[in-house]
Amino acid sequence: MDRWRAWDEFLEARPDTGFMQASWWADFRTDAGYDHFAAILKHQGAILGGALVMKFSPTPLSCFYYIPDGPLLPGDESEAEEVFQALLEAIEAQRKTETVTVSHLRIEPRWERLPAFLSGFRAVPALSDGCMEPRHTLCIDLRHSEAEILAHMKPKGRYNIRVAQKHGVSVVEDNSERGLVDFLAIYAETAARQKMDAKPPDYFEALLSTLSSAQKGSVFFAEYQGRRLAAAIVVYFARKATYLFGASLASHRQVMAPYLLHFEIMRRARARGYEWYDFWGIAPEDAPTHPWWDFSVFKRKFGGQEFNLVPTLDYIYDPASYEHYVAT
């Protein structure tokens, strides 16, 4: 919508944000039953910073605010502090209008260090609830040539890409109805095999509809002998292509289809002018018992640069309501 255009353009020009602050992502979450509001700070018509704030209601009598990929602040720390305080005041003004208890404000800025002015927030352990995003990720620099990207991979990564190529694996982009159906089938098998909590089909129907209408994403498949073996949903935003969801079948593992799938996605993203391919979450290298360990080993075979972002941070408004949220 027009009222969001300036905000989205502001985001697209920033290297330190992500797609979850975009208006089209907020619309997608609205379809899932989540409200949102904006707190945007301007000076003489220019946006200085702000946030798109999600509102989640875990019970009929309570809610909390959530800022994924934000807030966005000026680069200068003194200016950032002023904007941050003004942002908190705007959110507090919104809180006073609520008819239910607001338990807390959760922020997930793409900062690699905590600013000195931040106070009153508590760090939230990774994976402690379902309303948080990865804080440790791996990105491939697409500004290098294809040869350099391959050279920066681990030997096993390069080898498996060549294996897939020799077997005749191909990669296709399919945003049609068939693409959705095929993704859901591969995803369902993967979820059952890995015993993971799967998102329902209507989540992906809404997601792919949003990405298609906003022209911000694609579904890719690796095919072998006419069968789709692996799939990936990729989001395009600002300078980055992000691998948001993926799945693969257990059959024909020897052809290494997922390796060629990601290499081809990188190649195509690079050709479209994107500078980074974000693998969207990995386990720390010293955490072999982490639930993400197995697929993190896979991702690290592609080389890349690891980014450690500050932890998820909560500011508690109502201790009793917050403790109830944490307990459930």
Q: Which residue pairs, CB below 8 angstroms and at least 24 apart, start in 321-326?
A: 321/62, 321/101, 321/102, 321/103, 321/104, 322/103, 322/104, 324/59, 324/62, 324/103, 325/58, 325/62, 325/64, 325/103, 325/104, 325/129, 326/128, 326/129
- Please give the Cα distance from 141 to 306 (Å, whole number): 11
Q: What is the pLDDT of residues 257-287, one digit of tens each?
A: 999 999 999 999 999 999 999 999 999 988 8
pLDDT for 33:
78
- pTM value surpassing 0.75: yes
Structure confidence at residue 194 (pLDDT): 87
| pLDDT tens-digit readout, 182-205 | 999 999 999 999 888 889 999 999
What digits encode the pLDDT tens for the residues 65-74?
999 999 999 9
pLDDT band at 243 (very low <50, low <70, confident <90, very high): very high
Looking at residue 100, the DSSP 8-state letter turns out to be S
pLDDT value for 1: 54
Average pLDDT on 46-61 reads 95
Our CA dihedral for 35, 279, 189, 259, rounded to 10 degrees, sits at 160
**Residue 32 reports pLDDT greater than 80:** no
* pLDDT at residue 2 greater than cutoff 80: no
CA distance 246 to 228: 13
Mean pLDDT across the stretch 231-260?
97
| CB-CB contact of 182 with 208 (8 Å) | no
**What is the percent of the chain with per-residue pLDDT over 70, rounded to a whole number?**
99
Buried b (16+ CB within 10 A) or exposed e, 74-98: eeeeeebbbbbeebbebbeebeeee
Report the alpha-carbon distance of residue 80 to residue 164 in Å, rounded: 48
In three-state secondary structure terms, 126 is coil
If you average pLDDT over every residue of the chain, what do you get? 95
Chain length of the chain: 328
Question: Which tens digits make up the pLDDT trace of 283-300?
Answer: 998 889 999 999 999 999
Across 162-187, average pLDDT: 98
